[in-house]
């Protein structure tokens, strides 16, 4: 597959005293526009929305037992929220629409459309780069759900969404004098919806085969990936790259975590999981969730 070329659409957030954010957008031609971003949800509603989306996308793949017959007297009256103070129901498109509607307003929306069209005219994609260094409260916002009808931006190859942390000068890349070691981690618990992990595994092997043949790259696979086994394998810090293939999930507090297996093949409890990105021995981590 040929390398895809992107123009950057850099968006920087600066907090305002009223809780909103000044937004500055810069495209590849250095055209700049200004706007204001206000979170469309409270912190509690955002957490609730993320958990609802996680539950709808990570249902356990276990057969549902036939419902027992009920009598009229035993039946529970059906209720639904039709307004008022009831909690709103969210799916990924609804959540993403709210976020996109708050970000892409006025001049910012028109600027993004112009940049998208300019890139398309020359065969380039448009990468939305969100600079969050000055807005730590926005780091946990699920920007990857940004939805502009009829699609999620991050799900399209020509409109990726990335987070950009302006942390000052970049650390020099580590020098690797010998073979680059890659650990592929596969976690497909049997009680979650099946993933085509074999296809992802083939893609990685195809992409690295030429370098493996001349001993420039060494690719190992950890399957199944239990939390304990993963910690043991990573302990010596000899791997330069970790590539995770599997499900991801949210904890009860809204933190994202990758799924892993128990020794029986089921999903490990969240308390037993440890994100591969938290291991200080990792130099680069790729998550295919």
Every domain of the chain with CATH number 3.40.50 lies at: 180-288
What letter would DSSP give residue 261? Answer: B
Rounded average pLDDT over 46-58:
80
Please state, in angstroms and rounded to a whole number, the distance separating the CA atoms of residues 144 and 108. Answer: 18
pLDDT on residue 256: 60
- Mean of the per-residue pLDDT values of the chain: 78
Q: What is the pLDDT of residues 154-197, one digit of tens each?
A: 988 899 999 887 666 666 766 777 899 999 888 776 666 777 88
What letter would DSSP give residue 171? Answer: P
Lowest mean pLDDT among 209-223, 243-257, 260-274: 260-274
How sure is the predictor about 90, in pLDDT bands with cuts at 50, 70 and 90?
Answer: confident
Please state, in angstroms and rounded to a whole number, the distance separating the CA atoms of residues 55 and 133. Answer: 30
To which H or E segment does residue 108 belong?
helix 106-121
Count of positions (residues) in the chain: 289
Determine contact, residues 245/203, Cβ cutoff 8 Å.
no
Rounded average pLDDT over 208-236:
86
For residue 59, the cross-strand partners are: none
Rounded average pLDDT over 217-222:
92
Tell me the CATH number for domain 180-288: 3.40.50
Please state, in angstroms and rounded to a whole number, the distance separating the CA atoms of residues 256 and 57. Answer: 13
3-state secondary structure of 78: coil
Please state, in angstroms and rounded to a whole number, the distance separating the CA atoms of residues 287 and 284. Answer: 10
């Amino acid at each position: 597959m040929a390398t895809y070329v992107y123009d950057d659409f850099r968006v920087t957030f600066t907090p305002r005293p009223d809780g909103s954010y000044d937004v500055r957008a810069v495209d590849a031609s250095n055209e700049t526009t200004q706007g204001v971003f206000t979170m469309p949800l409270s912190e509690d509603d955002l957490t609730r929305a993320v958990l609802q989306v996680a539950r709808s996308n990570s249902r356990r793949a276990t057969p549902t037992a036939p419902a027992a017959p009920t009598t009229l007297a035993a039946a529970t009256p059906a209720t639904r929220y039709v307004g008022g103070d009831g909690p709103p129901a969210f799916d990924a498109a609804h959540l993403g629409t709210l976020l996109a509607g708050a970000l892409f307003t006025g001049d910012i929306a028109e600027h993004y459309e112009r940049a998208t069209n300019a890139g398309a005219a020359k065969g380039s994609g448009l990468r939305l780069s969100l600079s969050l260094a000055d807005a730590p409260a926005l780091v946990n916002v699920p920007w990857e759900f940004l939805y502009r009808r009829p699609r999620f931006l991050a799900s399209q190859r020509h409109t990726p969404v990335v987070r950009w942390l302006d942390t000052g000068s970049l650390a020099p890349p580590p020098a690797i004098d010998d073979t680059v070691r890659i650990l592929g981690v596969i976690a497909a618990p049997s009680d979650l919806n099946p993933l085509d992990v074999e296809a992802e595994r083939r893609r990685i092997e195809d992409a690295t085969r030429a370098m493996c043949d001349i001993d420039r790259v060494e690719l190992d696979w950890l399957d199944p990936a239990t939390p304990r086994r993963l910690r043991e394998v990573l302990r010596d810090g000899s791997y330069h790259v970790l590539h995770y293939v599997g499900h991801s999930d949210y904890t009860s507090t809204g933190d994202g975590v990758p799924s892993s297996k128990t020794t029986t093949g089921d999903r490990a409890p969240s308390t037993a999981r440890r994100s591969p990105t938290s291991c200080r021995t990792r130099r680069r981590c790729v998550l295919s969730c």
